[in-house]
Copies of this chain bind each other. A is one copy, B any other.
């Protein structure tokens, strides 16, 4: 049962998204500077895969606000890190995404 994981085969559950983390140098080059005394420093990444949405009380999936390709700011302490080859990814709940920045 060897698991051969590639970006295209990851299907996040519920309101989760699969995000490619932007390298640190790219982030500051792009204009965003996080103050040293920031309460909670956000990270920047690009959404690669989107879940089917959270199930609400009526048994319906709630539409996601983000889409594949969106660049997003997300809470630094949220989610689960995953490494594929040399790239870093994170599996996040949509509620930990602060804003779309592109």
Which residues of chain A have a CB within 8 Å of any CB of chain B? 1-6, 9-14, 16, 18, 20, 22, 26-27, 29-35, 37-42, 44, 46, 49, 52, 55-60, 62-63, 65-66, 71, 73, 75, 77, 79-85, 88, 91, 94-95, 97-102
> How many protomers of this protein does the assembly include?
7
Q: Would A5 and B18 be within 8 Å (CB), given that A60-B59, A94-B13, A98-B91 are in contact?
A: no
Q: Is there contact, CB below 8 Å, between A3 and B57?
A: no
Q: Would A83 and B35 be within 8 Å (CB), given that A1-B26, A91-B73, A99-B91 are in contact?
A: yes
* Complex CA–CA separation, A40 to B91 (angstroms): 10
Q: Is there contact, CB below 8 Å, between B13 and A1?
A: no
Q: Would A65 and B14 be within 8 Å (CB), given that A39-B77, A98-B80 are in contact?
A: yes
Q: Would A10 and B80 be within 8 Å (CB), given that A2-B30, A26-B3, A71-B1 are in contact?
A: no
Q: Top 10 A-B pairs ranked by shortest CB distance?
A: A3-B30, A38-B81, A5-B32, A33-B83, A11-B100, A12-B99, A5-B31, A2-B30, A91-B98, A2-B26
